[in-house]
Structure 1
Amino acid sequence: MNRALDLYCRALSFACAVIMAVMLVLVFGNVVLRYFFQTSWLISEELSRWLFVWMVFIGAIVALRERGHLGTDMVLVRLPAKARRACVVVAHILMLYITWLMLLGSWDQTVINTGTEAPVSGFPVSVFYFCGVVFSCSALVVLAYDLWRLLTGRVPDHELVMIQESEELAALPVHQELVDATDRDGRATHDTAAGKNP
């Protein structure tokens, strides 16, 4: 299952790259046509907007799998291992519920807009909303798999923080050393501030 999810996310990353390339051609090509040939692709703006939304939702799936979403971990890293695991399990259950609601809403919008055509391209507007269905189904699988790993003890304690505090801190090994020091001895910060040796 782990390998299948990795292959799936690799394919999604490739799809994001292709979408980005198509958007670049559409937008840049339209600019060139307007400024040098006094014409334009009418479909360019509408299609590039749809592709951007699809790229964001696909990228969110990959970020969820790679634990790249931003969040705050200042409380979680200070909890004991068992309390930290319980919090992560509750968070996954809540995320599964919210993702399920998003799936229902996206599917309803997809069905409602099946007969509605986009004003320029004439494509069904349901294609636009279907990206929510793809994201929700994929996120449900990723979250359910992570929850199963948590409940069966397959996630080690040092991997229980499944978010990044910030992009800058995630890149700093000093941040991880501080987290590890806090895990080893919760009094380390207090002793240092008091001028004692930890």
Structure 2
Amino acid sequence: MSRLLNALFKGIEVLISIALAVMIILVFANVILRFIFDTGFAWSEEVARISFIYLVYLGSIEAMRDNRHLLIDSVLIRLPSIAQKLLYTLIQGLIIWLMMALTTGSYGLMLQNYHNKWVATGLPVWVVYLSGFIMGISIILLASGNIFKLWVLKRTVKDLITPQDESAATLE
């Protein structure tokens, strides 16, 4: 199961890299075309915008997995162990609740825009809202996994809030 998850997240990293490359290439090419040749690709702005949206949303999934999201832990680490666990569970519960709102909202917008198309590319508009749906489901699963690790696997809150890269570096 761990190999499957690692492969899945490696795929997300590849998609992020592709989105960034597409965005940079299209924006740079469009700037060159406009300044030198007084023309440009009309569709490149839409593709770059979609690439940026997916870059941010997929990057948010990666940040959640690696514990690189914004967390001010100065109060959390000073609490007694049981209070840390309860507060961390509350935080993860709030994340789940917010991501459920994002997921249901994104799904509703996907349905609402199912027949709409982008003007220049002709791509379906619902593809943009799919990114919110994917991010919401993914972060719900990751936050639920964090609660599972805390209460069932008996991991400490400090282990769960430490960015994964740092904890791996200290073991070597």
TM-score if structure 1 supplies the norm length?
0.77
Query: CA 1:157–1:22 in 2, change beyond 3 Å: closer, same or farther?
Result: closer
Q: Which residue of 2 aligns with 1:66?
A: 66
Q: Which residue of 1 aligns with 2:135?
A: 135
1:127, 1:158 → 2: CA distance?
38
The answer (yes or no) to whether the contact 1:77–1:161 under 8 Å persists in 2 is no
Deviation at 1:52, TM superposition (A): 0.3
Deviates most, 64-73 or 31-40 = 31-40
1:42-191 pair list within 5 angstroms:
42-161=42-161
Q: Which residue of 1 aligns with 2:170?
A: none
Runs of 4+ in structure 1 off by over 4 angstroms are none
Q: Which residue of 2 aligns with 1:31?
A: 31
User: Greater Rg, structure 1 or structure 2?
Assistant: 1
The count of aligned residue pairs is: 164
Question: What amino acid is the match of 2:68?
Answer: G
2:4, 2:95 → 1: CA distance?
22
Question: What amino acid is the match of 1:148?
Answer: F
The answer (yes or no) to whether the contact 2:26–2:48 under 8 Å persists in 1 is yes
2:155, 2:6 → 1: CA distance?
17
SS at match of 2:161: coil
Deviation at 1:162, TM superposition (A): 5.5
Q: Which residue of 2 aligns with 1:11?
A: 11
Deviation at 1:156, TM superposition (A): 2.7
Deviation at 1:10, TM superposition (A): 1.7
2:110, 2:162 → 1: CA distance?
31
Identity %: 29
Query: CA 1:85–1:68 in 2, change beyond 3 Å: closer, same or farther?
Result: same
Question: What amino acid is the match of 2:70?
Answer: L
TM-score if structure 2 supplies the norm length?
0.88
The answer (yes or no) to whether the contact 1:43–1:121 under 8 Å persists in 2 is yes
Question: What amino acid is the match of 1:21?
Answer: A
1:158, 1:125 → 2: CA distance?
41
The answer (yes or no) to whether the contact 2:61–2:139 under 8 Å persists in 1 is yes
1:161, 1:121 → 2: CA distance?
42
1:134, 1:117 → 2: CA distance?
20
Residue by residue, what CA displacement relative to the aligned partner does 1:45-102 show, whole Å, maximum 9, x if unpaired?
1110111011100000000000001121111011011110111112112211211111
SS at match of 2:124: coil
Which consecutive residues of structure 2, in runs of 5 or more, have no partner in the other structure?
A: 167-172
The answer (yes or no) to whether the contact 2:115–2:124 under 8 Å persists in 1 is yes
The answer (yes or no) to whether the contact 2:58–2:135 under 8 Å persists in 1 is yes
Query: CA 1:60–1:3 in 2, change beyond 3 Å: closer, same or farther?
Result: same
Which consecutive residues of structure 1, in runs of 5 or more, have no partner in the other structure?
A: 164-169, 171-198
Q: CA RMSD in A?
A: 1.7
